[in-house]
Amino acid sequence: MDTPLQHTTVLLDEAVDALLGGELPEGPATWVDATFGRGGHSRLLLSRLRPQDRLIAFDKDPDAIQEAARITDARFSIRHEGFRHLGELPAGSVQGLLMDLGVSSPQIDNPQRGFSFRFDGPLDMRMDTTRGESVAEWLATAELQQISEVIRDYGEERFAFPIAKAIVARRQERGPISTTAELAELVAGTVKTREPGQNPATRTFQALRIFINAELEELQQALEASLAVLAPGGRLAVISFHSLEDRIVKQFIAKHSKEVFDRRAPFAAPQVMKLDALERIRPSADEVARNPRSRSAIMRVALRTEAA
């Protein structure tokens, strides 16, 4: 029998503490785990919520939906959709909203999912394997310039054009790339220098995963939706794992954490701020020692203002 793939939740206690924020509101309250994953945050939240509260989770991954079925708590429900659908919740109905943007360890460690260059498997990388185009399918038809731009923009890869050129040349000579090992080998043969300790394919794999799942676009949509669904005094906590994500979160919170003056109407009242930036939290040294995959995590916490 195969051993189940394990996942260690990053910033588990810190995220739940940040979301609850001390005293719970009077009356029933709704909380949202926008990225269920393997349910670490959801399970701890449920252990600390009251009988009258409820928790709604979202996830695109069929394996996550299967894992969620093991939770029998009547206060819990999950939707098989990405968190871009947050805006479908009633306005002002959510007391706390958590987004953990990391790829779960079972996704990375399962060769069939195609997320990692460490294992040979189909070059898939879709979060939702029931719909959409895989990375292999996209690379089979994408133009050189498209591939180069994706690797450059989403992977911050300075060798994006040579990698894209090698992918297209390989496609023309021997047919499309179909496995993770083929792609990793091709990138390694193209990228001659790399930061110490980093696999040459790291940035390319990150870029293709982000692109094929429209991760940054979905994050932006979910953040905007959070302003509508969070109740006054509700809390937003977002855990990101690379600079592209964190930059979006940081800029979003900063944008909505200041009063906006209309220069065309200097005597008009300013547009009130919608968020109050609370804190930025990194994993402790102990957590990083226990779970090295947590080392790049950054959690930003904000409060939905009463006045907005």
Binding-site positions for S-adenosyl-L-methionine: 39-41, 59, 83, 100, 107
Q: How many residues does the chain have?
A: 308
Structure tokens at 207: 């870029």
Structure tokens at 245: 């994500």
The rounded distance, in Å, linking the Cα atoms of 231 and 226 is: 9
Nearest to 237 by CA among 27, 44, 5: 44
Angle between helices 202-212 and 215-229 (to 10 degrees): 50
Binding-site residues from annotation: 39-41, 59, 83, 100, 107
User: Running DSSP on this structure, what letter comes out for residue 113?
Assistant: G
Helix (H, G, I), strand (E, B) or coil at 234: strand
The rounded distance, in Å, linking the Cα atoms of 176 and 26 is: 58
Q: Are 257 and 249 in contact (CB under 8 A)?
A: no
